[in-house]
Amino acid sequence: MAMTMNEDGMQGADAKVSVVVAEDSPTQALRLRHLLESRGYEVRGCGDGLAALEAVRAAPPTLVISDVVMPRMDGYQLSRHIKDDPALAAIPVMLLTALSDPHDVIRGIEAGADHFVVKPFEEEYLAAQVRFLLDNRHSADEPPEGEAIAIHFDGEHHQIRATRGQILNLLLSTYGAAVERNKELARAQAELQSVNAQLRLAFRELESF
């Protein structure tokens, strides 16, 4: 059967997209499940990285979305285990993180992850990033071979085994996160200006009495 795409850019039912979600927060897990299932994706939820790894090995999905901070096995470790397994290495891994530490991007590259989304996230933004990752997963380089590349960053040593495609995706997603943060800041500033204008108006009305 031919592969089809609907108006959201999602693959048709003859090429069903399955997603393993690793998230230890029940609230966030429910939110992600609703967001993905509302767009037609099949979702398997796991409460930590180890459970997610077992689920991925049992039935390899189209995509893995993982929180970074989790019990038993974090998102970086989950990504590294997936990328180190030749049978699973082609599965894209998206990490959800606060990106509060500049080392997070390096750790993501080191773990072989394919994409970042910063929390808290707008649902439409996350959905767009999922579509981007799915649309571009076949254009990535072949899994890296040979020894890892050693780099020194901000006083720490890292071993990088990611492909050029993974590194580019991570850099693009990091740039996208910065743009999204700037949009949020602009919205917050606009709301503050609106509140200040309303307060000035209220004070003028009070002074008129």
Q: How far apart are CA 198 and CA 44, in angstroms?
A: 47
**Two structure tokens written together for 202:** 């209220």
- pLDDT for the residue numbered 4: 40
Q: Which amino acid is at 150?
A: A
**Two structure tokens written together for 19:** 């997603």
The arrangement of strands across the sheet holding 115-118 comes to: 42-46, 18-22, 63-67, 93-97, 115-118
* Report field, pTM of the whole predicted structure over 0.85: no
Question: Which residue carries 């085994």 as its tokens?
Answer: 161
Nearest to 144, CA basis, from 170, 175, 110: 110
Tens of pLDDT along the chain (209 residues) come to: 333 444 444 444 336 899 999 999 999 999 999 999 999 999 999 999 999 999 999 999 999 999 999 989 999 999 999 999 999 999 999 999 876 566 777 787 788 888 888 888 889 989 988 998 888 776 544 545 455 555 555 566 656 565 666 566 656 656 555 556 656 666 767 777 777 777 677 667 666 66
Q: Kindly give the interhelix angle for 123-136 and 26-37, rounded to the nearest 10 degrees.
A: 60
- pLDDT for the residue numbered 174: 61
